[in-house]
Amino acid sequence: MSEQQKQQTAKVYEVTVTAPVNIAVIKYWGKRNKKLILPTNPSLSCTLSQDHLHTCTTVRASPTFDRDRLWLNCVEERIEASERLLNCITATRQLRAELESKDPSLAPLSKWGLHICSQNNFPTAAGLASSASGYAALVSALAKLFELPLSEEDQSKIARTGSGSACRSMFGGFVAWQAGELDDGGDSFSYQVAPATHWPDLHALICVVSDAKKGVSSTSGMQTTVQTSELFPTRCRDVVPQRMEAMKRAILDRDFETFATITMKDSNQFHACCLDTYPPIFYLNDASRAIIQLIHAFNNQKVDPATGKPVIRAAYTFDAGPNAVIYAPKGAMRELVQLVTYFFPKPIDRPSQAYYSDQFGLFSESEY
């Protein structure tokens, strides 16, 4: 072994990153290419602050590792069983191999085994965007470990091949994922519409209605929708493109009323498509529907004397599960938290699960 090889082998090649969850306000649902994860429609989301919901991933490369291994929430998973994991690992490893072939002084990380350890601080696969933060963390950790000169846009394309919504978690703030038209996915990536600092008054409240693993995964659910829903083509063709433009404008103008109205309508239409899927998919439960009614009642409380219309101060949205995310201006949050905890109290008999309960729990973006 040469002196250089000895030094390389002695060095620890390890990187730890955290990636945030994002919650879509215009939903991605449906793929036109399953392997490359190319969507049927563009989508838009808000990346939440990393302080609350995130995935923390450590990747380590070593010549002593004879194969790649992954631990998810401390339990070892079979990497070979996941084409999506392999997509992300192979793509980044290939880029590293290209760097190594150009610069022989680089340690041959592309030939070594990897150990990946990933931890979510929230219920995995309960419709709380765990795959989004998970693949975003994995791809940014690998890009860092392999010292790849990739832009966030390039990283978002790789994260997309792990899980569609993950490409949006590569950016903070308000993020759009353009569907793209190319067959190779070269134009299907995310970009930031505005940073979080653009609209600091907008807050999100995550209401954990259930931390159970969802019955129908997004991946299989969305393809059944593509194949069977008659409402779905109309959504993709006639509704989402206009909503994307209106939503971007609302964000740039900090127009909460438009932001909230589109958010609620888009969540409702996504769940209507699920119901229109055959056999139907039910992600919402009674508690979810009660939250929808509560938010509409809350919004009907105040009327603008000039227009005679209700003043919209909160919006709900639901992903592929019963858990609600409520977006509202900071000033309305205290009242909302009081209302939600009044109608959906935490079970006091399970103090150790204070914020994860099968009845109701809360995460808030900040202290109210």
Rounded CA separation 169/155 (Å): 10
Interface with ligand DP6, residue 131, by CB under 6 A: yes
Nearest to 71 by CA among 81, 63, 79: 79
Interface with ligand DP6, residue 124, by CB under 6 A: no
Interface with ligand DP6, residue 46, by CB under 6 A: no
Interface with ligand DP6, residue 188, by CB under 6 A: no
The tokens describing 81, both together, are 């069983």
Q: Which is nearer to ligand DP6, 20 or 164 (CB)?
A: 164
Angle at 325 between CA 120 and CA 310, to 5 degrees: 170
The tokens describing 32, both together, are 């036109």
Enumerate the β-bridge partners of residue 45.
Answer: 24, 175
Interface with ligand DP6, residue 316, by CB under 6 A: no
Rounded CA separation 35/191 (Å): 22
**Within 11-40, which residues bind ligand DP6 (CB under 6 A)?**
24, 27-29, 37
Backbone angles phi, psi at 292, to 5 degrees: -60, -45
Q: Tell me if the bond preceding 241 is cis, omega within 30° of 0.
A: no
CB–CB of 321/283 below 8 Å? yes
Interface with ligand DP6, residue 163, by CB under 6 A: yes
Q: How far is the CB of 37 from ligand DP6 (least distance, A)?
A: 5
Q: Which is nearer to ligand DP6, 49 or 62 (CB)?
A: 49
Interface with ligand DP6, residue 294, by CB under 6 A: no
Interface with ligand DP6, residue 165, by CB under 6 A: yes
Q: Which is nearer to ligand DP6, 43 or 110 (CB)?
A: 43
Task: Give the HSE-up count for residue 79: Cα atoms under 13 Å, Cβ half-sphere.
Answer: 18
Q: How far is the CB of 111 from ligand DP6 (least distance, A)?
A: 29
Interface with ligand DP6, residue 218, by CB under 6 A: yes
Enumerate the β-bridge partners of residue 41.
Answer: none
Q: Which is nearer to ligand DP6, 240 or 328 (CB)?
A: 240
What H or E segment, with its residue span, contains residue 177? strand 174-177
Rounded CA separation 174/158 (Å): 20
Interface with ligand DP6, residue 219, by CB under 6 A: yes
Q: Please work out the total of residues on this chain that contact ligand DP6, with binding judged by CB under 6 A.
A: 14
Interface with ligand DP6, residue 158, by CB under 6 A: no
Q: How far is the CB of 64 from ligand DP6 (least distance, A)?
A: 33
Of 107, 202, 250, 320, which one interacts with ligand DP6 (CB under 6 A)?
320
Interface with ligand DP6, residue 336, by CB under 6 A: no
Q: Which is nearer to ligand DP6, 8 or 288 (CB)?
A: 288
Interface with ligand DP6, residue 344, by CB under 6 A: no
Interface with ligand DP6, residue 43, by CB under 6 A: yes
Q: Which is nearer to ligand DP6, 107 or 179 (CB)?
A: 179
Interface with ligand DP6, residue 267, by CB under 6 A: no
Could you say which DSSP state residue 164 is in?
G
Query: Who's near 268: CB < 8 A, 6+ residues apart?
Result: none
Q: Hey, how many other C-beta atoms are within 10 angstroms of the C-beta on 86?
A: 16
Interface with ligand DP6, residue 164, by CB under 6 A: yes
CB–CB of 44/259 below 8 Å? no
The gap between the terminal CA atoms of the chain, to the nearest Å, is 60
Among 51-59, 158-166, 238-246, 350-358, which window interacts with ligand DP6 (CB under 6 A)? 158-166
Q: Which is nearer to ligand DP6, 29 or 174 (CB)?
A: 29
Burial class (CB in 10 A: 0-12, 13-18, 19+), 307: exposed
The tokens describing 178, both together, are 């353009």
**Contacts to ligand DP6 by CB under 6 A:** 24, 27-29, 37, 43, 131, 163-165, 218-219, 319-320
